[in-house]
Amino acid sequence: MQINISENQKEIKAHGNYEFPVGINVEKIEAYEQGAFLWHWHPEIELTWVMSGQMEYHVNNEKYILTEGEGMFGNSNTLHAGYQKDGEACTYLSVTFHPRFLYGYENSVLQTKYVDVITSNDVWHSLKLEKQIAWHQEILKLLCTIYELSQAPPRDYEMEVHIILMQVWKRLYRYFSVLPEKQQKPQRYLERLRDIISYVQEHCSQDITLNDVAGHVNICKSECCRFFKKHMGMTLFEYIMFLRIQKSLSFLRDGESVTKAALMAGFSSPAYYGQIFKRYMKCTPREFQSGKGTGNFQSGT
């Protein structure tokens, strides 16, 4: 399984529909290729509840370890990615909904006073929901209720989900709205970060260089490296290798030779491809192709 994304890293996936813009899905991190879903973004707010296991979750420049019973609030338009943690399976509930589901009419007081104030603030990109904090636990119980409703939807299912999500938002609003003013200043790095990620995603199969990436966003090479590492928690080289390895997996599954898969994914040498593949996947390309390898991406090279 893969995240389907456009060239600018926006996820191409319907989170519900126009009439009921809510997506409620039980997912398994190990079901994704490499045991990870790539960096992407979408306008929907996303709430996560870990039902079993654990996972490593990244939002913008923050890294979280989510364990069973914990959860995550991910704001609208945030860059996020998830990885298997220590090869462990993880089942989680993902509830995604468009902000308009909360406020209804454009420019209503619900939108301008209670929703936009949070969704337009880049600083408030995420919040880990922990078991030890009482109001976090209230949100996690509400997510559990949404899951139960989704398994046997009652006649008033959509209205029940709306009421619950408004209860969740009320708790989030009360938390964010009283934070000190200094924490409410927007961060301006996101546009540049999205620009770099989009460019690398589009050109990773080519002979892309640091000069190319830095020139695309009009900064020097050293600043480009520092900026990417600071906000992504990995080097630009590591991210390019991640993308190339992921691209190669579909070629291997389609029966292409290791040599051809390497070249199509952007590697100049099959030997080097095999070396990088084993570092990330903990098996050789042939072992992966034959089903003998684990096929789990290991973050942090």
Average pLDDT, the chain: 87
- Confidence at residue 113, expressed as pLDDT on a 0 to 100 scale: 96
Q: Is 286 left (phi over 0), alpha (psi -120 to 50) or beta?
A: alpha
Give the end-to-end CA distance of the chain in Å, rounded to a whole number: 23
Query: Could you say which DSSP state residue 41 is in?
Result: B
State the pTM of this model: 0.71
Q: Which two tokens stand for residue 100?
A: 């308009």
- Confidence at residue 198, expressed as pLDDT on a 0 to 100 scale: 82
- Confidence at residue 155, expressed as pLDDT on a 0 to 100 scale: 96
Q: Please, which contacts does 237-243 make with residues 24 or more away whose CB atoms are closer than 8 Å?
A: 238/301, 239/197, 239/200, 240/200, 240/204, 240/208, 240/266, 241/276, 241/280, 241/301, 242/38, 242/280, 242/297, 243/38, 243/200, 243/201, 243/204
Which residue in the block uniquely carries the two structure tokens 């298997």?
84
* 293 band by pLDDT with thresholds 50, 70 and 90: low
Q: Which of 70, 9, 16, 68 is nearest to 45 (CA)?
A: 16
| pLDDT exceeds 60 at position 158 | yes
Question: What are the CA-CA distances from residue 28 to residues 35, 51, 80 (Å)?
Answer: 9, 10, 16
Q: How many CB atoms lie within 10 A of CB 250?
A: 14
pLDDT in tens, 220-264: 999 999 999 887 778 999 889 988 998 898 899 889 999 999 999
Q: Which two tokens stand for residue 45?
A: 């707010």
Residue 132 phi, psi (nearest 5): -85, -10
